[in-house]
Amino acid sequence: MSITPTRNDALAAQLDHAINNKTKPLGSLGVLEALAKQIGLIQNTRDIKLTRPAILVFAADHGVVAEGISAYPQDVTWQMVENFLARGAAINVLAAQNNCALRVIDAGVNHDFGPRDGLTDRKLAHGTRNFAQEPAMSRDLCQTALAAGMALASELEGNVVGFGEMGIGNTTAAAALMHKLTGIPVAQCVGAGTGMSAEGILHKQRVIEAAVAKHAGATEPLDILATFGGLEIAMMAGAMLKAAELRKVLLIDGFIVTSALLVAARMHPTILDYCVFAHCSDENGHKQMLAALDAKPLLNLGLRLGEGTGCALALPLLHAAVNFLNQMATFESAQVSEKSE
């Protein structure tokens, strides 16, 4: 795999000139200006456009739920997948509102759906093992999940891809990955997830701390992912890597999605050139995870739902960045006087 850095000094200068000559004070469109420039560098052109944006929602179950680390039973994973297929979830509403395609992927749900319209079956197992007792998956299974994600990204026709997830127990996996890959104390990585009490959060913290001690030998990114991750997280990381290799814009959602990116970025740091961070989640630890990636999120709405909802909400800002660069008049074309020296 080869992810090309987006740095291009000549193109960057062209984009800066185009942005600065619009009929506005310098820098007055703020983050939208940086976003337009980033999209131009990703697409390697001054003539930027967004085509067929899609959000991929990866679903899987986690064996660590046996440790009582979730406020909801594991069955909620497959029940929410059914809700996605019935178009009744928040991500369905928000994706449709923004004319964004939605693809639901069964990466490893502990339920047999059978052939279903709207469901992409890439099930590799009926969930992971309990990482409090043993590695969540083998190294080979983890690599298979990464490869499956890469194949999914290769199938996408558009140039913008958002990432979402569903999996009871996956905030515990994400917190363990965050701790192992950043060194941030477990207590600062663990949050309420689906709504745990203070006592439940402390229990989750202790489960992760004991698991980290048990699997102290997992130090490389792939081994960390195999030991503590989920099938949806691994498949998502693979899709991210391939999408970046294909020079697509990667729209990153919340805590769990960012944990998948954290793994991918440790494997191929250049992937970060392609990432637009949709929002800062209200899940404890996400702000520090973003800081570890030197990421600047577009939104801060107190979200902690997952599903890719932050991606759908941020998508209009990408359109705004593209449209102002393409459609806004320049001082010369509008015959507007520029700032006096």
54-319 fold: Rossmann fold (3.40.50)
Average pLDDT of the residues of the chain: 95
Tell me the CA distances in angstroms from 1 to 147, 150, 184, 227, 264, one per residue in order: 11, 10, 29, 23, 12
pLDDT band at 192 (very low <50, low <70, confident <90, very high): low
Q: Is 332 a catalytic residue?
A: no
Marked catalytic residue, from 199, 307, 338, 341 = 307
CATH topology of domain 9-49+323-334: 1.10.1610
Burial of 34 (0-12, 13-18, 19+ CB in 10 A): middle
Q: Does the pLDDT at position 244 exceed 60?
A: yes
Contact residues for 158 (Cβ-Cβ < 8 A; gap 6+): 50, 51, 52, 53, 54, 101, 248
Q: Considering only 114-123, 186-195, 233-242, 254-263, which range has the smallest mean pLDDT?
A: 186-195
Contact 202/191 with Cβ under 8 angstroms?
A: no
User: Of the candidates 181, 179, 169, which has an alpha carbon nearest to the alpha carbon of residue 136?
Assistant: 169
pLDDT of 337 above 90:
no
Residue 199 has pLDDT above 90, yes or no: no
- Per-residue pLDDT, 330: 87
pLDDT band at 194 (very low <50, low <70, confident <90, very high): low
pTM for this prediction: 0.95
Domain ranges of the chain: 9-49+323-334, 54-319
Report whether pLDDT(340) > 60: no
pLDDT band at 122 (very low <50, low <70, confident <90, very high): very high
Q: d(Cα 154, Cα 157) in Å, to the nearest integer?
A: 8
